[in-house]
Structure 1
Amino acid sequence: MARLHLISSPNVSSLTTACFVIVGSNLWARKLSFNTVYFQSTLGCHGSKASKHNIKGQIQYNPLRFQQSAFNHNYKSIERGATFEETNKIYVVKADSVASSELESEASNSKSIVDSVKSFMAVLYEFIYPYALFAQTSASTSASLLAVQKLSDISPLFFIGLLQAVSTLSFMLLYVSGVNQLFDFEIDKINKPYLPLAAGKLSFRNCVFIVALSAILGLGINLMIGSPALIWNFVLSVTLWTCYSVNLPFLRWKKNAVQTSLLMFFCWTFLIPFTYFLHMQTFVLKRPLVFTRSFIVSLLFMSFYSIGLALSKDIPDVEGDIKHGVASFAARLGQKKVFWICVFLFEMAFGVAFLAAASSSSPFWIKFVTCLGNVVLGSILWYQTKYVDVTDPASGRSFYSLNWKLLMGSYVLLPLIR
């Protein structure tokens, strides 16, 4: 049979082997095998010589044709595959870029919101007068500790009462400082251009909104707590400091140096210590009102220190006060003279605390700590006086800030004097 004859033929076998060597591929081998079957039918129809010649010619031609066809097919397949992969790749990249851009947009939006909140809180922190906030917190804590008679009084009930006492301090100070900045806008442009309202960091409308909201929230929280002492503290503080700042007939007490000194003397010597002490003694601990020795020492200490604060407050603000008709002691008597009066008052306060601590019935180590503490505070004040330039507003403000820091140190020592 022709099929058996062709397969067994050495010529065809050698040609097939040659094609395998030339092509070197299974795919081309299959195509060559297919042509071999085609040549088998040709061999069966024609003679042996003609068949051999045709086979040789076809085989010589077909590898080139198959090579080109296979190459073309392979090229088209590769080109089509590359196009498909490239299309998919472009699509995926576009999808990823859109998704990443959306994520970046969301991240930038969230970051901008966080930055805005941080900026607003920083402005609010400057707006509230940080030294006043820390001093008020220290004062309320110290006055609450004056009501403690034994160590067992420092209980969860005490800390709840202390939290009630300090919970509305920020609202009260926001109101007081806000009202002062609203009515001192022109003066602050000269004396304190760094304040948020004078510097343009806070608009006038937002300042009014903060002041009104602080008054409402502060009073509301105090009413919810229900402590009469805290309610009176908030109401009197807001009323008195409004009279100090508001430019209305019979008000604007800051224009009068005596009224300013009396206001600070009353608030820091009596109103703050008495109301917080009363809150802790009667409302929290449920005890009858009894003035302890440490409470009386605290009143004597603050009677000197509060007047010193009232006088030193105006030392760096002389230029703006004179221009706008505010007759402070520093503007009337001179900055240097008022400065040394303040130093004398502060040292007198530390002296009162030292004598009270030395004559107390407390254990020796408490006497030692309180006496040494007041000596250190007084020494720091005296040492810093040689670095103060009363004609430089920045130096005057630094001295005023130092007085508040020393006061906070005294608030730690006063409850230990028994």
Structure 2
Amino acid sequence: MSQVFERLQQLGWRGWLHALWKFARPHTIIGTSLSVWGVYVLTYAIARTNISLLSPLGAWIACLCGNVYIVGLNQLEDVAIDKINKPHLPIASGEFSQRTGQTIVAVTGLLALLLAWMLGSYLLGMVAISLAIGTVYSLPPIRLKRFPFWAALCIFSVRGAIVNLGLFLHFSWVLQIERSIPAVVWVLTAFILVFTFAIAIFKDIPDIEGDRQYQITTLTIKLGQKTVFDLARWVLTICYLGMLFAAWLPQVNVVFLISTHLLLLGLMWWRSWQVDLQDKSAIANFYQFIWKLFFLEYLIFPAACLLA
């Protein structure tokens, strides 16, 4: 802990907080935030009961802490690789020492479990399982990120199934409604599950140089950038076309759901045609665009249920 305060003095509050923000991987923080609040709004749309902001606020903080633990642990184990693929990250760049990173990871992991334990068993189960998977994903000797299938399974099982179903069960318990999972929740879960698979395979495309050098086997290394890029596009296409079938559920607004998803599908293909696979920054920008599409789903789908 002393090294944390020492680094704080060196960087200043503003510099230290900026480094912490980079350490937390902002796109994952935004995704986690929208998943918590999106599932809460969806649960409220189903329940149509009194709304309370305290419950999602506590779950949000617990999930943010868990998020920092998972992405932070990954950075602690990938310093050499990140110096090639992501040199801007705090540990790779030297803004944070290894000890500072370890302290942040330990504190956020403990806080996530403690808050979840205080708030309810469903939330505790969701957070504990997510942290366990995040640990075996990054930490030797298991380090599942070395294997394409298991790495993708870790990412889309947490983002797709565990988070959505766990949060819905938690909020259902809080709002005191029936805890059987309705069709609209399964639809959102299926969409995010498949969508996150696209994210999981796409994220390694710009990192091929460092992954190859440190023997991290990815689909990009096995199949090539173009093949994985095309695969990710078609997986996303299946997501959006599959969501059209959900428009016939009575709990959603048909016109809103169909029009928004067809618009985003067209936008995704338009953006993808502009990507130069020889330009690492262009690939990284399109990857961030995919994350923005991911963010939008947690706004669009709950809104479609509220408008029903």
* Same-fold call, TM cutoff 0.5: yes
Q: Give the CA deviation at 1:151.
A: 7.2
> In the alignment, what sits opposite 1:385?
272
Distance in 1 (CA, whole Å) between partners of 2:246 and 2:74 is 37
| Identity across matched positions, percent | 26
> 1:180 Cα shift?
0.4
Structure 1 residue ranges, 4+ long, deviating more than 3 angstroms after superposition:
149-152
Counterpart in 1 of 2:25? Answer: 129
1:149 offset after TM fit, Å?
Answer: 4.5
Residues of 1 paired with 2:245 and 2:50: CA distance?
27
The one of 260, 279, 286 aligned to 1:399: 286
More RCO (CA 8 Å, sep 6+):
2
* Structure 1 counterpart of 2:94: 200
State whether residues 276 and 282 of structure 2, in contact with CA within 8 Å, keep that contact through their aligned partners in structure 1: yes
**1:34-113 paired onto structure 2 within 5 Å:** none
Structure 1 unaligned spans of 5+: 1-111
Distance in 2 between the 1:215 and 1:326 partners? 26
Question: Offset of 1:264 from its aligned partner?
Answer: 1.6
> 1:181 corresponds to which residue?
75
For residues 266-277 of structure 1, the aligned pairs below 5 Å read 266-277=157-168
1:326 maps to a residue whose letter is I
Q: Which residue of 2 aligns with 1:316?
A: 206
Partner of 1:244: 137
Deviations, residues 320-347 of structure 1 (Å, cap 9, x unaligned): 1111111100110001100010001111
- Counterpart code for 1:243: V
Asked whether the equivalents of residues 184 and 249 of structure 2 are also in contact (C-alpha less than 8 Å), the reply is: no
Partner of 1:40: none
Q: Distance in 2 between matches of 1:192 and 1:268?
A: 22
Alignment check: 8 A CA contact 1:229 1:278 kept: yes
C-alpha separation in 2, matches of 1:293 and 1:236? 24
Larger Rg: 1
Q: CA deviation at 1:171?
A: 1.2
Give, in whole Å, the separation in 2 of the partners of 1:337 and 1:319: 17
- Which amino acid is the alignment partner of residue 313 of structure 1? K
Q: Using a 3 Å threshold, how does the CA distance of structure 1 residues 362 and 222 change in structure 2: closer, same or farther?
A: closer
Deviation at 1:393, TM superposition (A): 2.3
Give distance in 1, aligned partners of 2:228 and 2:208: 12
Counterpart CA distance in 1 for 2:181 and 2:130 is 22
Scaled by the length of structure 2, the TM-score of the pair is: 0.91
CA contact (8 A) 1:335 1:391 kept: no
Counterpart for residue 237 of structure 2? 347
Shift of residue 186, structure 1, vs aligned partner:
0.5
Q: CA deviation at 1:154?
A: 4.7
Is 1:210–2:100 an aligned residue pair?
Answer: no
Identify the residue that residue 303 of structure 1 maps to in structure 2: 193
The answer to whether structure 1 residue 410 and structure 2 residue 307 are counterparts is no
Taking the aligned partners of 1:397 and 1:245, their CA distance within structure 2 comes to 22
Post-superposition shift, 1:385? 0.7
Matched-pair contact (CA < 8 Å) for 1:297–1:414: no
Q: What is the rounded CA distance, in whole Å, between the counterparts of 1:238 and 1:347 in structure 2? A: 30
Q: Is the 8 A contact 1:178 1:211 kept in 2?
A: yes
Aligned residues: 298
Q: Residue 333 of structure 1 aligns with which residue?
A: 223
Give, in whole Å, the separation in 2 of the partners of 1:354 and 1:238: 33
Give, in angstroms, the shift of residue 147 of structure 1: 2.0
Gaps of 5+ in 2: 1-7
In the aligned structure 1, how far is the partner of 2:36 from the partner of 2:95?
31
